[in-house]
Amino acid sequence: IDVSNTLNSPKSSKHRQKKRKMVHQKVLALAAATVVAVNGFAPPSISISQSRHVLSAATLDTPPPLAPLTVWGDKLNDIREVHSKLNSEPAPEFAPEVSAKSLGLDTTEQQLQYVKDNAFELKQRMQECGAVIFRDFELMKTQDGFQEFYAALGMKVCLDPLHSVSARPTVDGKKNSPVYEAVNKESRKNFFIGMHNEFVGTRAPRAAAFVCFKAAEKGGEFLIADGRKMFRDLSPQLVEELYNRGIRYSVMELPFFGWVENLPGPLKEPVMGALQGAASAAINAKVDFDVSLQWRDDGYDDAKVLQARAPAQKPIVIHPVTGDPTWFCNVHSHSSKLRKERESVYGAERFEDGASRINKSDMFFGDDGDISEAALKEMDDVTYKNMKYVKMTEGDVVLLDNYKCMHGRNVFDGTRKHGVAWFEGWEGEEEMKAAQQTAKGGASAMKKQPAPFFATEV
């Protein structure tokens, strides 16, 4: 809409007032269109009571709850001292493998019984080592067998953490299936999924199980990295700055506003305010965490965009069971600069719909300051240093602790079918926590905190 020509025509005062009214109406229509776009991106969140009704007819016997709130742990008063102490200790074990072939488990019955008999020890290994990789299991080559596997372990299923903001496809195509697609779309095959912990806003599953139903003909490796080792390998200066200033994610960009630059001066600021308010109200009505909108001039097409930012948080958490400080920061996947650098190697993502175009992210300091290129490079280098490529074949599963283990996905060619189930916790978790607290003498890092410390301070 070319509103500048409309307002600058040499007409009478009365005529100009009429034109301004028309422009005002058009701006309101555009604001409404923005709300519609946001609604398309973020479907209405479902209350727990609604989800119980919807999911009761699904493949699950009992409906899963929402992903749990993220447990950040106590604030570390001297992050440098903690960093130095951990670097003086031996590196922890990470991602051991369990092979059905090596154990002589030839049938699916034997494999399921093994999982049942060793459930507690396998979960303990997961939370101590960050992940456990299961190889050569016939049991998990089907979705039914995969669900039997994690049920035998005593894992407690929860909804996808994206539940409140988007709808991730399920492996079998059923609306209420507990097993979700793990980014298998052909349109995203050349999109390198950067390393990240799974969380949205204030919610993060405690654990996850990633399964391979069909491996890609080329590439498509599942990627994992130890968050404890990430924390150790970053420089103390960068750790201190990131921890004290906090981090903040841009979770979405609304790229419809290049036309705002053509507005005449007196209208530009009020129109931008109206659009910002309308979009903010629409987004915050759809998600269960606070989102603030900011105007930016550095959109993907160098056009003016509205950028939605989540609340500030710390990049390091205290593990809720073991008390280990661990890197919990999605800079590798969320940084616009790092993503563009990977696109220069693998090619740009092909956008199929508006949701993909809108769903763009970036990362900043918690005070909204830009992170320097040197800091981004260091975090990128340390991430690649710790990245482990896991070439999965049909039936392989990576069971991971979402607080200790980051994950991602390599580019691929061919057809890939991997799935994931999210867990709010597991049977025996409280016993593990109690044993850990007893062993450490109730160390302060293990104390339960009633609310995230960053709610009032970053």
Higher per-residue pLDDT: 375 or 37: 375
Give the residue-averaged pLDDT of 394-422: 97
pLDDT (tens digit, 9 = 90+) per residue, 320-344? Answer: 999 999 999 999 999 999 999 998 8
What pLDDT is stored for residue 18 in this prediction? Answer: 53
Average pLDDT, the chain: 83
Whether the per-residue pLDDT at 169 is higher than 50: the answer is: yes
Question: Is the pLDDT higher at 211 or at 359?
Answer: 211
pLDDT of residue 14: 55
The rounded distance, in Å, linking the Cα atoms of 82 and 68 is 27
The model's pTM is 0.80
| pLDDT tens digit sequence for 303-317 | 788 888 999 999 999
Residue 365 confidence (pLDDT) above 90: yes
Q: How does residue 353 score in pLDDT terms, banded at 50, 70 and 90?
A: very low
Which one has a higher pLDDT value, 126 or 166?
126
* Least confident among 31-40, 364-373, 406-415: 31-40
User: What pLDDT does residue 289 have?
Assistant: 80
- In this predicted structure, the answer to whether residue 218 has a pLDDT above a threshold of 70 is yes
Instruction: Give per-residue pLDDT as tens, 201-216.
Output: 889 999 999 999 999 9
Amino acid 452: pLDDT: 36
pLDDT tens for each residue of 53-103 = 333 233 555 668 999 999 999 999 999 999 999 999 999 999 999 999 999
Span 233-289, pLDDT tens digits: 999 999 999 999 999 999 888 877 878 888 888 888 898 899 889 988 888 887 778
Residue 33 has pLDDT above 60, yes or no: no
Task: Judge whether 325 and 443 are in contact, CB under 8 Å.
Answer: no
Which residues is 409 bridged to in the sheet? 193, 222
- Whether the per-residue pLDDT at 443 is higher than 80: the answer is no
- Name the band, by pLDDT with cuts 50, 70 and 90, for residue 447: very low
Q: Side chain identity at 436, as an amino acid letter?
A: Q
- Residue 61: predicted pLDDT: 56
Statement: residue 115 has pLDDT above 90: yes
